C-alpha cells in the first residue's frame, strides 16, 4: 500500500441529506429520513477511502451527494485544485457543473443494469466524450479499452455479449474516459464471482497507480476495504462513527460498531477473538434512538449513552483516528 501524501482533494463539510416523509392525499410532510446527517471528512489525493457500514447506513447516499445525483439538504463539498483554491462544487453554475463533472466519476455495483442493453459499447463510451467535446474519441476509447484489458475489437458488441467481469471493466472504462481525478466506486465487485472480484480489484489498484486516481470505495465488505483502502470511514445511521487508517482496522479500532463489523470477518489475525453478533436491525433513520444512536445494540452501553450523543473526536495523540463514543476519554 503506497504512503499517503495528505494533499487534500475533497473536503466534505457537514453534509446532510434528509428525505421528507409524506402522508395523506395532501402529501403533508410528517418527518424526515436522515439518510446522511452532518458528515464531514477530508479526502486526500491518490488515496482510497473505504466507506463501510450495513445496508441503510447512508454510504451510497453520501456518494450520490458528492456526485450531485442528489441535492444535499445542507452542507458543502469543496474541491481543492493544484493551486489550493477551494471550489464549492455543490454551488456551481450549469456550465461550471458540466465542466466539473469530468473530475468525479462513478463505477456502479451492477455492471449489467448500469449499461444500456440496446446500445453498443462504442456508443456507451463515446457519448460522454461527445458531450464534453473531447478530441479523437475513437482513439481515446480504444486506448481505454486496452487499459482495462478488453480487446478494442469488441467495440461494436452489446452488453449481453460480455461476462459479468468484462461488463464491470466496461463500467470502469466509462468512468475513466473523461480522465477523472476522483472515482466513487459503489460496491463495484459485490455482484461478481469471488475469482473475478480479485481481478477487478487488481485492475483498480493498477489504474490508480498509473493515473494517480483517488477512490472513494463504498462497500459492506470489510475484507475488500482492508485489501484496497488506505483509510476507512465507518458509517452508522447516516453518520460517521469512526475514521481510521486501514492498518489499524483489525486490531486498533475503538468504536464498538467497528469492532463488531471487523469481528464478523474470517481473517487469521482475529482467530481466537470473540465474534460479536450484532443484535437487532439498524434503527429507523426517521426516528433514531436518543443519545448514541448505536446504544440499543451496544454491549458496552452506559447510562450516559442513552442520553447524550457522543461527538466525533480525534483520539488523543492521533491526527488520523476519530471516534464518536463515550468510552473514549474526552
Asked if 261 is part of the footprint of ligand SF4 (rule: CB under 6 A), the reply reads no
Distance CA 190, CA 151 (A): 24
Of the candidate residues 256, 258, 285, 322, the single one contacting ligand SF4 (CB under 6 A): 256
Asked if 4 is part of the footprint of ligand SF4 (rule: CB under 6 A), the reply reads no
Give the CA distances from residue 129 to residues 54, 169, 175, 320, in Å, rounded to whole numbers and listed in that order: 36, 18, 11, 38
120, burial (CB in 10 Å: exposed 0-12, middle 13-18, buried 19+): middle
Place of cell 475469482: 195
Asked if 301 is part of the footprint of ligand SF4 (rule: CB under 6 A), the reply reads yes
Q: CB of residue 276 vs ligand SF4: minimum separation in angstroms?
A: 12
Q: How many CA atoms lie within 13 A of 9 on its CB side?
A: 21
Distance CA 4, CA 1 (A): 9
Asked if 325 is part of the footprint of ligand SF4 (rule: CB under 6 A), the reply reads yes
Asked if 276 is part of the footprint of ligand SF4 (rule: CB under 6 A), the reply reads no
Q: CB of residue 308 vs ligand SF4: minimum separation in angstroms?
A: 8
Beta carbon nearer to ligand SF4, 182 or 298: 298
Percentages helix, strand, coil for the chain, rounded to the nearest 5? 35, 25, 40
Footprint on residues 83-102 left by ligand SF4 (CB under 6 A): none
What is the pairing mode between strands 104-107 and 74-80? Answer: unpaired
Contact 244, 63 (CB under 8 A): no
Give the CA distances from residue 259 to residues 43, 67, 135, in Å, rounded to whole numbers and listed in that order: 23, 30, 50
- What character string, x for contact with ligand SF4 (CB under 6 A) and - otherwise, covers 303-322? --x----x------------
Asked if 254 is part of the footprint of ligand SF4 (rule: CB under 6 A), the reply reads no
Q: CB of residue 241 vs ligand SF4: minimum separation in angstroms?
A: 7
Asked if 294 is part of the footprint of ligand SF4 (rule: CB under 6 A), the reply reads yes
- Find residue 24's DSSP bridge partners: none
Which among 11-19, 81-89, 101-109, 289-297 is the span making contact with ligand SF4, rule CB under 6 A?
A: 289-297
Q: CB of residue 36 vs ligand SF4: minimum separation in angstroms?
A: 19
Size of the site for ligand SF4 (CB under 6 A): 14
Of the candidate residues 20, 300, 303, 307, the single one contacting ligand SF4 (CB under 6 A): 300
Q: CB of residue 207 vs ligand SF4: minimum separation in angstroms?
A: 37
10 Å Cβ neighbour count for 252?
A: 13
Q: CB of residue 329 vs ligand SF4: minimum separation in angstroms?
A: 12
Residues that bind ligand SF4 (CB under 6 A): 255-256, 292, 294-295, 298, 300-302, 305, 310, 325-327
Amino acid at each position: 500500500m503506497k504512503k499517503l501524501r495528505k494533499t487534500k482533494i475533497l473536503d466534505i463539510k457537514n453534509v446532510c441529506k434528509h428525505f421528507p416523509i409524506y402522508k395523506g392525499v395532501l402529501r403533508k410532510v410528517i418527518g424526515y429520513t436522515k439518510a446522511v446527517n452532518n458528515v464531514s471528512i477530508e479526502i486526500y489525493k491518490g488515496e482510497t477511502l473505504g466507506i463501510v457500514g450495513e445496508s441503510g447506513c447512508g454510504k451510497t447516499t453520501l456518494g450520490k451527494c458528492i456526485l450531485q445525483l442528489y441535492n444535499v439538504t445542507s452542507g458543502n463539498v469543496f474541491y481543492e485544485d493544484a493551486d489550493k483554491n477551494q471550489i464549492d462544487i455543490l454551488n456551481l453554475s450549469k456550465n461550471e457543473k458540466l465542466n466539473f463533472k469530468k473530475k468525479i466519476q462513478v463505477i456502479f455495483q451492477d455492471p449489467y443494469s448500469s449499461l444500456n442493453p440496446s446500445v453498443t459499447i462504442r456508443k456507451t463510451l463515446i457519448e460522454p466524450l461527445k458531450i464534453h467535446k473531447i478530441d479523437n474519441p475513437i482513439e481515446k476509447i480504444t486506448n481505454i479499452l486496452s487499459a482495462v484489458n478488453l480487446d478494442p475489437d469488441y467495440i461494436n458488441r452489446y452488453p449481453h455479449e460480455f461476462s459479468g467481469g468484462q461488463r464491470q471493466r466496461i463500467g470502469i472504462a466509462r468512468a475513466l474516459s473523461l480522465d477523472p481525478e476522483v472515482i466513487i466506486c459503489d460496491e463495484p465487485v459485490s455482484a461478481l464471482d469471488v475469482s473475478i472480484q480479485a481481478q477487478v480489484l487488481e485492475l483498480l489498484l493498477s489504474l490508480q497507480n498509473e493515473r494517480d486516481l483517488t477512490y472513494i470505495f463504498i462497500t459492506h465488505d470489510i475484507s475488500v476495504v482492508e485489501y484496497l483502502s488506505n483509510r476507512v470511514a465507518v458509517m452508522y445511521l447516516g453518520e460517521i462513527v469512526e475514521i481510521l487508517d486501514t492498518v489499524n482496522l483489525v486490531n486498533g479500532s475503538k468504536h464498538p460498531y467497528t469492532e463488531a463489523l471487523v469481528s464478523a470477518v474470517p481473517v487469521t489475525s482475529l482467530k481466537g477473538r470473540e465474534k460479536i453478533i450484532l443484535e437487532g436491525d439498524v434503527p429507523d433513520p426517521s426516528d433514531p434512538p436518543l443519545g448514541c444512536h448505536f446504544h440499543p445494540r451496544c454491549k458496552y452501553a452506559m447510562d450516559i449513552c442513552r442520553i447524550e450523543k457522543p461527538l466525533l473526536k480525534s483520539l488523543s495523540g492521533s491526527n488520523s483516528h476519530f471516534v464518536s463514543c463515550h468510552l473514549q476519554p474526552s
